[in-house]
Chain A
């Protein structure tokens, strides 16, 4: 990510971010029960609320009992990776704003990442479900999974950009105002 004109501090930040991602993403594969409770359960609850469907606990996660086909929110639907990425993104912005790494910033980044993850995952689950319903009507079976993936990707990217936009929008104005 190095670019002409980048300061060594920026370069260091980029490298540290890459390391953080590389270290934290594998953590999403351990303690599955934690991720289920931490992310799957609220995602399923909120999605169920939006879809007006009851949820049911299963051996692998939570089933949103919505017609025409229920949605099974399992570990692979937890968006734990997204949580890591959005938290890191928030942490980068917060630490940048705070001019350093502070516990408070990290906690705030975690909370922010959690909120964004839940919102994004709910949106993804709901939209992907609708998309798959449409796909089943017009496309052959091998394409359903791709449609699901594309919608999920689109939603997550959108939420990442939005989350970043919200993070950076306020400080800019505040900084400008303070400077003036």
Chain B
């Protein structure tokens, strides 16, 4: 190694080709320009003249930089020159100057009114640094790689002195300044010095690296040293430092460690002899290049902070580890490329490069897509199942892995760019709530999830106990958010005014609310709606103005209401459906003693006499005279119409009682196998206890379901039916979910009778039998299915010990019963080829019937035949009521076919909005200002564009204690001072006397 005085090449000429200017200057600058223009277009309306001038200057400078980059490329290319140190100087200065200007002006360019939610300042600043730093780094490397008339040793020594001396110098300077605190450096000198020093130090660092690489590369025996330092020691050291100081992000994921070690080992492997092994080795190194590149890019914007990092933490130099790794990795690839190119050809190498560099990004994307597929499949199975598919296919193993990964992501590990990319790919920017994750897990695996297991397996609590920096959760609905205001607001007055519109009534319910408490409070009350009454309007008194509510998607409106209530504390009002027949009204805020008024408008045919239950108060409409018009048909324009049956008309119609049969749903869940042997005896026991019911059907259910009987059987066929489980390939797995077996059966029955046309032969009474260690899982409830079996709208759950609980389809509280009651009387209607039943009650009711009501018939048990029914009064499809009914029918359709919910939801919301009729997927909301309306719209678009089961993020607010609690402390302290002052003065006087 006698070449210490020989000139050497620090940077290969290939790296200085003008084409790199396009890739590293022009392309990022173009991207940045696009991002900044987009940001400008977002906020320009709110900018003042100074901000506009600043924005214009920035835009012009960006354009100038872009032109400079392209011009430089053209110039160098035409002259056949490389990017030498000379053009590197202006390039470096121009780009640093741009960043300097941006940082100096700060984010004052962004108008405050707009910046708060439209344009996050930190993101904007990060964009500037992330997209300008590649040019700075490249120009710096090209600048620092100039030739010196010294040998390698002296050259490296000078660079090393600059590298160590600058941070040491700054440290000493700070120490001196701290010791002599009155003396301070002028700010301008500090800043210039700091920026200049950082640039020089970074360039010195790169030069040391280049020197070191060049030197070590010539000595075969120590060639491994630099890859060892750059590939293993420095990154692992950096990661360990990151564990204590997670700057700029938290990278404490085991996979990062694994990839770091793998990458280091791959870099350490010697370059083999022979074409094929060499090509393979080179490709493997290319495969891992994205890993190196990723960390280099992530750290690149933070390189200007390297001096601060070194001063702040002794091991702060490890912030430069990604740069070191990048330089070593790329140089190694370049050196090997030069060796390989003559052997295998450039095109082969280019192909290997393209394939190799795509492997990691493609794998990550494929994994994310697979996770999305598995997760969404699991979510769909839970919340949007296709009931016609008895045995849904799902990869449970993969779904579990996806859920665990999701849990870990929610718990913290956040990798910049990658996590965002993953979240966007998997969740479309939204989130799956914890409660829904738990339900999905329980449905698939029949047990409550052990998320601790996910944390242990993923993060390794004992290895890296600290979690990362982000969690996405939507638990606010469950009370996981900020503290709720008190609800001591009472309903002081209530009135209902009705107004006729043709054969319809618009009724306005006026609620006057009074805050009886001395603190700010919220009003919240349930409102029970009668059958056939639709919500068509809502108003809230906001500071004396009657502000009309608007219809928005329910989840969006609830989120915005929550945000406003818990953060801004300004005047929102919200009306939503809790169930299909119950509303919840929320109004906020009420100051102490304040009285406010809100109004809800209802729309219904004038043949209905509604009774509204508002909390514990009741108000009813004016009872109409007996209506000679009889039944009223609501033409929804869809394949099912509504038939309004007024009370007086109902009394004249013949009723019938259908024959019940038991439909047993037996537990085939993961914990159900132990009790399977007793199921036959339990079924026979139920049949014995209800001797009026002779026949039964049997289904097995977990998250899937299988019919074990092909027709109704008597008690003699029970054991044989249960033995047929094996033939259905129904395994004991997942949770016991009788709900979907009930739904599938009801829908199947309806379709069957729709097609056949004769009388409905009987009514199923569902009895779910579960094992000792099983808990039946009800996900959605059965309200939307109640009208399919109106004479028996309950199901029964029998526990292992034999206790039978009756649970209503509408989600009400269950009650223990001894035996199953007889079905209620119904009206059995028939249209050509179709049947429908409607519960016969002493109130007006709505029957959902096939659309062809022109030839409507009703079954008369006296004659044993169907007879015509007159339903001449028609509400036309263009009437608001009929439009609302149509929206409701669409909603029912999605409840019956949840798989269509994602597709139909935007249309239902739009139809609800167009008709002004609220449905359970929408809500009426009143907010105070235009920004809040705009936010509602924006959030609704986001919500409707994503999966129906994904939610918005959760947060906790941190309100301060009220000032009146602190004011006494101030007075106490003042009192103390006033008390002490005479004693102090006395002491002073005494001392003066001495």
Q: Which residues of A contact B (CB under 8 A)?
A: 1, 3, 5-6, 10, 13-14, 17-18, 21, 25, 28, 33, 36-37, 52-61, 63, 65-79, 81-82, 84-85, 88-89, 92-93, 96, 121, 124-125, 128-129, 132, 141, 144-145, 148-149, 152-153, 156-157, 160-161, 164, 168, 172, 175-176, 179-180
Contacts and interface: CB of A to CB of B under 8 A. Distances in A.
A105 B470 CA distance: 43
A92 B410 CA distance: 49
Nearest to B126: A54
Contacts of A36: 112, 116
B568 A70 contact: no
A153 B965 contact: yes
Contacts of B981: 10, 96
Contacts of B977: 92-93, 96, 164, 168
B567 A54 contact: no
B41 interface: no
Contacts of B480: 69
A119 B418 CA distance: 34
A96 B984 CA distance: 13
Given A28-B963, A53-B469, A153-B966, 5 more contacts: A10-B978, A14-B975, A66-B470, A72-B957, A141-B479
Contacts of B931: 59
Tell which of A56, A59, A164, A180 has the most Cβ of chain B within 10 Å.
Answer: A59
Contacts of A141: 479
Contacts of B970: 17, 21, 85, 88-89, 160
Contacts of B691: none
A17 B567 CA distance: 30
Given A25-B963, A67-B469, A82-B963, A17 B955 contact: no
Give me the 9 closest cross-chain CB pairs, A-B, nearest first. A145-B483, A81-B963, A67-B471, A60-B567, A59-B117, A76-B959, A74-B567, A70-B955, A153-B961
Contact of A78 (B115, B568, B960): B960
Contacts of B959: 74, 76-77, 148, 152
A59 B955 contact: no
Contact of A60 (B120, B563, B988): B563
A72 B958 contact: yes
Interface residues of B, number: 65
B652 interface: no
Interface in B353-412: 410-412
Interface string B466-485: 01111101010001101110
Contact of A81 (B121, B122, B467, B962): B962
Contacts of A157: 966, 969
A132 B958 CA distance: 10
Which of A61, A72, A75 has the most chain B CB atoms inside 10 A of its CB? A72
Contacts of A93: 977
B314 interface: no
Contact of B470 (A53, A88, A96, A176): A53
Contacts of B470: 53-54, 65-67, 70
B966 A70 contact: no
A88 to B, nearest CB: 7
8 contacts: A60-B116, A60-B563, A63-B955, A70-B470, A81-B960, A125-B958, A161-B973, A172-B984
A114 B534 CA distance: 54
Nearest to A56: B120
Contacts of B987: 176
A148 B563 contact: no
B940 to A, nearest CB: 15
Task: From B120, B410, B412, B992, name the one whose CB has the most chain A CB atoms within 10 angstroms.
Answer: B120
B960 A57 contact: no
A1 B957 contact: no
B567 A76 contact: yes
A176 B978 CA distance: 17
A121 B960 CA distance: 8
A156 B973 contact: no
The A contact surface, by secondary structure, is helix
Contacts of B954: 69-70
Contact of B122 (A1, A14, A56): A56
A144 B475 CA distance: 14
A8 to B, nearest CB: 12
A148 B483 CA distance: 9
Nearest to B114: A57
B568 A68 contact: no
Contacts of B566: 72
Contacts of A56: 120, 122
B246 interface: yes
B401 to A, nearest CB: 21
Contacts of A25: 963, 967
B973 A52 contact: no
A75 B958 contact: no
A58 B120 CA distance: 8
A81 B966 contact: yes
A72 B961 contact: no
Contact of A70 (B471, B935, B961): B471
A121 B966 CA distance: 14
Given A1-B974, A57-B120, A156-B960, A82 B966 contact: yes
Nearest to A49: B247
Nearest to A66: B469
A28 B955 CA distance: 24
A54 B469 contact: yes
A96 B247 CA distance: 45
A3 B471 CA distance: 54
A160 B953 CA distance: 35
B963 A84 contact: yes
Contact of A68 (B115, B411, B965, B984): B411
A180 B991 contact: yes
A145 B121 CA distance: 31
Nearest to A89: B970
Contacts of A17: 970-971, 974
Nearest to A132: B956
Interface core residue of B117, B482, B970 (most chain A CB under 10 Å): B970
A61 B483 contact: no
Given A52-B246, A61-B567, A176-B988, A71 B957 contact: yes
Nearest to B473: A69
A90 B953 CA distance: 41
A20 to B, nearest CB: 10
B983 to A, nearest CB: 11
B112 A33 contact: yes
Q: Looking at A18, A74, A85, A89, which has the most chain B CB atoms within 10 Å of its CB? A: A74
